[in-house]
Structure 1
Amino acid sequence: MDRQELGAFLRSRRERLRPQDAGLPTGPRRRTPGLRREEVAVLAHISTEYYVRLEQGRAPRPSAEVLAGIAGALRLTEAESGHLHVLAGTAPSRTGRHRRDVRPSIRTLLERLPQTAGFVVSATFEVLAWNDLTAALMEDFADLAPRDRNLARRAFLKPTLYGVSDVAEFRQHVVMELRSALARYPSDPEVTGLVEELRDGSPEFARLWARHDVEAPPTLKKTFRHPVVGDITVDCDSLTLTDRDQHLVLYSAPPGSPDAEALALLSVLGAEYVKASGHRK
């Protein structure tokens, strides 16, 4: 049970709610944003004293029933409710360190994908495996040390992110995923160290981290401003590899579209041509 993180998460969810969201009268002017603690306690059918202690990080571990009541009172989404249980220690959690080894079958699949850029990222956004089209579209990660293959570092600590159109949205996604990863791997130094590095090195990351959000809308399309073939808009699909807590990310384009033709051209040119042309992203 992570008492301090649990308390901070509960406060952030309570402060975002308006009384009318919970079916309560607005009443007189309020001194603080969101619902009052006593209002959440009433809605969750628990004592105000116990709820206050939860937010202050002083309460014992709540039961699953209590957490269900709090989740309902705070109007948590399914993802937020799951995160609440992880923080409270009532959900199965992974121990030790997150996995960085990719299944051989997934590596083979990447190479067999027709005109689709595909890559695998770890729970901390390190690019673990990729195919040739990904190297031509984004970067040849083979040229980088593992530390520099991290898309979270790239998003917050580097000046550019492959010319993508959704940098702000991707940054929000990174923060939310890292918050969930930290809850799953609280003793993994690579996870804790990355979060600390980004909080210290990026005011934007620190601002987003303080919001305690854990859910973002999926990215369905993305546009890359490529230095050789110009703008390419791709469909984005992210498949969860549950057994290793990794994601297989796929970028493709509708057959016959100009974007599909651009991907096909990149597939022919390859990453070596992009590098030889003097364009480094």
Structure 2
Amino acid sequence: MDRDELAAFLRDRRERIRPAEVGLPAGPRRRTPGLRREEVAQLAFISTEYYTRLEQARGPRPSREVLSGLVRALRLTDAERDHLHHLAGAPPAPPPGPPREVRQSILDLLTRLPGTAAIVTSAIGEVLAWNDLAAALMEDFSALSRRDRNLIRRVFLDSRQGALYGVSDGAEFARDSAQRLRAASARYPDSPEVTGLVAELLAGSEEFTRLWEVYDVSVLPTLAKTFQHPVVGPLTVNCDALHVPDRDQRLILYTATPGSASEEALRLLSVVGTQRMDVSG
């Protein structure tokens, strides 16, 4: 526990909050630009004496319950919350599960990528967001249930032809998926969603069980893959995955080499959309 740094951090954050932000009247006789110590203590459900001792670097190590109250009272961001925990000598507990909410700026980016098929996946392989070209290239994800949008579940448990969109790297994707899920299970050890998915795959797939028992967590990047598309035929795309650290998500971009036949195929898909021209009626 770094008492001096903790005290300075609490004081700095307290002085940044305006009373109106937490539903308190500003009042005409305030001597501090932010909240009073007693107000923070009240919002955090701790005694004013205890909070004062923390700001004076004289307090004992706060419990996780006290830290949670301070996070709430001081309106701390996720990064500030983690910093507070580290200063108090109590590293933050692992998050309850993989975040599913996609940041608005990432959603906006998906619509501003002409000629690029893009999806956002969670730490356990669920497709959380996509643009129109990705739906045309892979599948109309909006027509699928949340369960069926999980790519890891599909690669191991879905026996339908084309369940993985006819990609050329099915074996590599299966191996990488098992490795990513093992790493995610370590980051979210108490998540029922993660442990449930692992149990389901172990019970339903011998291939997953074999890969799971290897204990590999080093994932090699997939630089290119070929989709066997029912409308435009085979097309090869570059595959780049960008990590979104604060959400533990990946933005996956599929682009074709300029001037290639695959670029023309992607351009056609952007016009065709999710229509199935190969199906009569």
| TM-score normalised by the chain length of structure 1 | 0.65
Write the distance in 2 (CA, Å) between the matches of 1:118 and 1:171.
Answer: 20
Query: 1:138 corresponds to which letter in structure 2?
Result: M
CA offset at residue 96 of structure 1? 1.1
Query: 1:220 corresponds to which letter in structure 2?
Result: L
* 2:174 counterpart SS class: helix
Q: Which has the higher contact order (CA 8 A, sep 6+)?
A: 1
Q: Say whether the 8 Å CA contact 1:138–1:162 is kept in structure 2.
A: yes
Query: 1:267 corresponds to which letter in structure 2?
Result: S
Greater gyration radius? 2
In the alignment, structure 1 residue 244 sits paired with structure 2 residue 251: no
In the alignment, structure 1 residue 105 sits paired with structure 2 residue 121: no
Write the distance in 1 (CA, Å) between the matches of 2:95 and 2:133.
Answer: 35
CA offset at residue 93 of structure 1? 6.7
Write the distance in 2 (CA, Å) between the matches of 1:126 and 1:184.
Answer: 16
* 2:111 counterpart SS class: helix
* 1:199 counterpart SS class: helix
CA offset at residue 95 of structure 1? 2.4
Structure 1: which 5+ residue stretches go unaligned? 1-90
Q: Say whether the 8 Å CA contact 1:165–1:222 is kept in structure 2.
A: yes
Residues 206 and 93 (structure 1), Cα distance of their counterparts in 2 relative to 1, 3 Å cut: farther
Query: What's the RMSD between the two structures over aligned residues?
Result: 1.7
Q: How does 1:118-137 map to 2 (within 5 A)?
A: 118-137=118-137
* 1:112 counterpart SS class: coil
Residues 93 and 137 (structure 1), Cα distance of their counterparts in 2 relative to 1, 3 Å cut: farther
CA offset at residue 216 of structure 1? 2.5
Write the distance in 2 (CA, Å) between the matches of 1:139 and 1:168.
Answer: 20
Q: Say whether the 8 Å CA contact 1:155–1:171 is kept in structure 2.
A: yes
In the alignment, structure 1 residue 186 sits paired with structure 2 residue 189: yes
CA offset at residue 277 of structure 1? 4.1
- Cα shift readout 1:198-237 (whole Å, capped 9, x = no counterpart): 1110000000000001113211000000011000100000
Match of 2:271 in 1: 268
* 2:273 counterpart SS class: helix
Query: 2:266 corresponds to which letter in structure 1?
Result: L
Write the distance in 1 (CA, Å) between the matches of 2:264 and 2:106.
Answer: 26
| TM-score normalised by the chain length of structure 2 | 0.65
Query: 2:108 corresponds to which letter in structure 1?
Result: T
Write the distance in 2 (CA, Å) between the matches of 1:197 and 1:278.
Answer: 34
Write the distance in 2 (CA, Å) between the matches of 1:94 and 1:118.
Answer: 29
CA offset at residue 92 of structure 1? 7.3
Q: Say whether the 8 Å CA contact 1:93–1:184 is kept in structure 2.
A: no
Write the distance in 2 (CA, Å) between the matches of 1:201 and 1:180.
Answer: 20
Write the distance in 2 (CA, Å) between the matches of 1:96 and 1:117.
Answer: 31
Match of 2:207 among 199, 204, 210: 204
Count of aligned pairs between the two proteins: 188
Write the distance in 1 (CA, Å) between the matches of 2:93 and 2:114.
Answer: 36
- List structure 1 segments (4+ residues) > 4 angstroms apart after TM superposition: none
Match of 1:223 in 2: 226
CA offset at residue 254 of structure 1? 1.5
Q: How does 1:75-154 map to 2 (within 5 A)?
A: 94-154=94-154
* 1:212 counterpart SS class: coil
Match of 1:256 among 253, 256, 259: 259
Write the distance in 1 (CA, Å) between the matches of 2:98 and 2:269.
Answer: 33
Structure 2: which 5+ residue stretches go unaligned? 1-90
Write the distance in 2 (CA, Å) between the matches of 1:267 and 1:92.
Answer: 45
Q: Say whether the 8 Å CA contact 1:94–1:185 is kept in structure 2.
A: yes
Match of 1:172 in 2: 175
